[in-house]
A and B are shown apart, each in its own frame.
Chain A
């Protein structure tokens, strides 16, 4: 097991730059998730770590070794593909022993290692089955098994749960987490699903447009997003943003929007321009009868334990995540007010969050 470090990594396909000048350190035994929308460069980054793509420039360290230009076969990493890529002309046992055969292990060693991995993943009863007869979940386990038997320096996973049914995905999510706790291997996991990322990761890197915007623990990513994109991508639904047509000065602790005063955490730096954004998570808002922004109810989504109410105001649509007991009828006139001062100001020029007592 070892640390993975990428330094100034860049990848271009012709004129298109898929990964821009990225730096990242993934600690030993960490479960690290690369999260972002499709086309953000997360899979390309993973494939470069694996050796399936060569970087245009920059370095990749696996442990102390620089592996950027080495072949995939020389890197001692395991990769779990989204489509599993199990060899269809071999049965489960042969799929699992395929990587070991190349490394020249004795037959008895291969057998015991395969059986050990199979037991860990609870697929020992299907070792002699054909791949085509397996269910999605079992295929996933076999794919994990094939990665596991080699005891590689690191596991790389490219949306391994993406093709499973929702029910299976939750189950496999739990199993993956447990497996990681059991074997404690450095894992890099790519997904576009923020819930998956939140539940699995020790740390998450949010990517967009080929750039790593923020790499932090899930709660920091959620509560202290560094950019507007991170704030909107994480959370379901994402953060609400309002334009503020005034500069934010140091030590400022409130803003006025449409005549409503919002308390904000004491700002530790001033904004560059006079147009900024004000971000608040839907669960930090509530409906009120006598104060706050005026608007009308545009939509109500019932989520079982919570309700998401969309309100049309002069500032645009606002999503409010409230308790189930709150009643809101369509087209009803309501007012929205903040529950607390968990509010983040994003600089209008850089899209980055301003340091405040809440974020620093």
Chain B
């Protein structure tokens, strides 16, 4: 009998089984996503061919269509034009079209970035301050206030769409970046306060007391000692907030049209322009997926617990 390993440790067989199950599950969930990414690299014909093509000749047509506005022209007109200057013009002309200008995608995409990261930062920052106060100070009516904060999430946010629409019009916040950042921050704050309070409660108060004895003010101690230790919670909260404000569709449709329109209400409009342009839709959704993915990967190392272990003996 193998006595070198503990009974508590899983056997290598069950480890392999667990890995196999995870791989199968990952493949199943990844199929639609990889199909989407594949579609984005197909041309319009192979995207809708039947039977579906798994092996295909890659094309950037979807991405070109996503970033440009085009118009269909007669062959005579196309022949009369000078030779195409670059590869994407050539690609468009082979479809009997000319590029009439850049599409709105880049603008909408950067709106999403500004609003998404802006509201995530605001939610986490304000949430951390509030959570710290709830965790450390004797706040009058603390439990009631915390319940009130939670109760703002007890109805679907869209239930208050009409009053918010009217308020935003009166305040001039409709279709502005600031308006959307405020809105998403308000929706995310209750989650941020509750999540972060849990993490703050776990940080012994001796740390900031030590820093205050060492000559720092409470606010300095908060930034230099408490926040670094709450990184796990901050990373988790930031990811949740980012996912919500990045994906939010209903308010974006309602409150933004031009200036501050985000990517989610824009991507479906691609479908309308000259038939179903599946590669462009694939390209749009693929690019839409990337920032949250990259954001999560960057913050992943902070999600790993353990950096605070062992510094305080419990």
Q: How large is the interface on A (under 10, 10 to 19, 20 to 34, 35 or more residues)?
A: 20 to 34
23 A-B contacts, Cβ less than 8 Å apart? A50-B213, A52-B209, A52-B212, A71-B212, A72-B209, A72-B213, A73-B215, A79-B209, A81-B206, A83-B312, A84-B311, A84-B312, A86-B312, A87-B207, A87-B211, A88-B311, A98-B214, A99-B213, A99-B214, A102-B216, A132-B309, A146-B214, A150-B214
Interface-central residue, A52, A87, A99, by most chain B CB under 10 Å: A87
Binding site for A on B (CB under 8 A): 204, 206-207, 209-217, 220, 225, 228-229, 307-314
Closest residue on chain A to residue B231 by CB atoms: A89
The answer to whether A77 has its CB under 8 Å from any CB of chain B is: yes
Let me know if A256 is at the binding interface, CB within 8 A: no
One digit per residue, 1 when the CB lies within 8 angstroms of any chain B CB and 0 when it does not, for chain A 78-103 equals 11010111111100000000110011
Residue A136 is within 8 A (CB to CB) of chain B in the complex = yes
- Chain A neighbourhood of B310, CB < 8 A: 88, 131-133
CA distance A150 to B214 in the complex (A): 8
B206 to chain A, nearest CB (A): 4
Please report the C-alpha to C-alpha distance between residue A139 and residue B314 in the assembled complex, in whole angstroms: 14
Cβ-defined contact, B216 with A79, below 8 A: no
- Quick check: A102 and B214 within 8 Å, CB to CB? yes
| Least Cβ–Cβ distance between A255 and chain B, in angstroms | 50
| Cβ–Cβ contact B216 & A88, under 8 A | no
Complex alpha-carbon distance, A33 and B59, angstroms: 80
Which residues of the other chain, A, contact B204 by a CB distance below 8 angstroms? 83, 85
Give the complex CA separation of A85 and B208 in angstroms: 9
Contact A73 B217 (CB under 8 A): yes
Within the complex, what minimum Cβ distance (angstroms) separates B233 from chain A? Answer: 14
For A73, give its contact among B207, B216, B309, B311 (CB under 8 Å).
B216
Q: Is the CB of A86 within 8 A of B311?
A: yes
A residues in contact with B214, CB < 8 Å:
73, 98-99, 102, 146, 150
Q: Which residues of B contact A50 (CB under 8 A)?
A: 213
A274 to B: closest C-beta gap in Å: 49
Contact B229 A89, beta carbon cutoff 8 Å: yes
Task: Establish whether residues B212 and A87, one from each chain, have CB atoms under 8 Å apart when the complex forms.
Answer: no
The CA-CA distance from A139 to B312 in the complex, in Å, is 9
How far in angstroms is the closest Cβ of chain A from B136?
12
* A128 on the B face (CB < 8 A): no
A residues in contact with B213, CB < 8 Å: 50-52, 72-73, 77-79, 99
User: Is there a chain B Cβ closer than 8 Å to A260's Cβ?
Assistant: no
Tell me, in angstroms, the Cα distance from A136 to B311 when the chains sit together. 10
- Counting residue pairs across A and B whose Cβ atoms lie within 8 Å, the total is 82
A77 to B210, CA, bound (A): 11
Within 8 A of B (CB), among A118-163: 131-133, 136, 139, 146, 150, 163
B207/A85 in contact, CB under 8 A = yes
B216: chain A residues within 8 A (beta carbon)? 73, 102
- Decide yes or no: A81 and B209 within 8 Å by CB, A87-B225, A102-B214 being known contacts: yes
Interface of B is mostly: loop
- Which of A52, A77, A79, A131 lies in contact with B311, CB distance below 8 A? A131
Q: CB-CB < 8 A to A85: which residues of B?
A: 204, 206-207, 209-210, 312
CA distance A81 to B312 in the complex (A): 10
CA distance A79 to B213 in the complex (A): 7
Q: Could you tell me the distance between the alpha carbons of A282 and B217 in the complex, rounded to whole angstroms?
A: 52
Contact B215 A88 (CB under 8 A): no
Q: Which residue of A lies closest to B310 (CB)?
A: A132
> Which 7 interchain pairs have the tightest Cβ spacing?
A88-B311, A99-B214, A132-B310, A85-B206, A102-B215, A85-B210, A89-B228
Picked from B210, B228, B313, the residue with its CB within 8 Å of the CB of A136 is B313
Q: Considering the complex, give the chain B residue whose CB is closest to the CB of A47.
A: B209
Given contacts A85-B206, A88-B229, 16 further A-B contacts (CB under 8 A): A52-B209, A73-B212, A79-B213, A81-B210, A83-B314, A84-B313, A85-B210, A85-B312, A87-B207, A87-B228, A89-B228, A102-B220, A132-B307, A133-B310, A139-B313, A163-B313
Task: Please indicate the chain B residues that have their CB under 8 angstroms from the CB of A99 in the complex.
Answer: 213-215
Q: Which listed residue (A72, A88, A139) contacts B212, Cβ 8 A?
A: A72
Name the CB-closest residue of B to A132: B310
Within 8 Å CB of A81, what residues of B? 206, 209-210
In the complex the two chains form, what is the Cα distance from A249 to B278 in whole Å? 108
In the complex, per-residue mask of A38-54: 1 if CB is within 8 Å of any chain B CB, else 0: 00000000000011100
Measured between beta carbons, the chain B residues less than 8 angstroms from A88 are 229, 307-312
Is the pair B228, A83 in contact by a Cβ cutoff of 8 Å? no
Q: How far is the CB of B139 from chain A (nearest CB, A)?
A: 15
Residue contact A83 to B206, C-beta cutoff 8 Å: yes
* Chain A, Cβ-Cβ closest to B204: A83
With the chains together, A337 CA to B111 CA distance in Å? Answer: 93
Residues in chain B near residue A79, CB distance under 8 A:
209-210, 213
Shortest B224–chain A CB gap in Å is 8
Q: Are B311 and A132 in touch, CB under 8 angstroms?
A: yes
**Roughly how many angstroms separate A236 CA and B82 CA in the complex, as a whole number?**
105
Which residues from A are CB-within-8-Å of B312? 83-86, 88
Q: What 0/1 readout, one digit per residue, does chain A (199-241) give for beta carbons within 8 Å of chain B?
A: 0000000000000000000000000000000000000000000
Distance to closest chain A CB from B252 (angstroms): 38
Chain A residue with minimal CB distance to B221? A73
| Chain B minimum-CB-distance residue to A79 | B213
Would you give the 0/1 interface string for A55-87, flagging 1 where the beta carbon is closer than 8 Å to chain B?
Answer: 000000000000000011100011101011111
A103 touches B215 (CB 8 A): yes
- Smallest Cβ-Cβ distance to B225: which chain A residue: A87
Distance between Cα atoms of A163 and B310 in the complex (Å):
13
Contacts of A103 in B (CB 8 A): 215
CA distance A89 to B309 in the complex (A): 10
Q: List the B residue with the shortest CB-CB distance to A74.
A: B215
Cross-chain contact B215 with A89 (CB below 8 angstroms):
no
**B207 and chain A: residue at smallest CB distance:** A85
With the chains together, A335 CA to B207 CA distance in Å? Answer: 57
Q: How far is the CA of A128 from the CA of B51 in the complex (A)?
A: 63
- A131 cross-chain contacts in B, Cβ below 8 A: 310-311
Please name all residues of chain B whose beta carbon is closer than 8 Å to the beta carbon of A77 when the two chains form the complex.
213
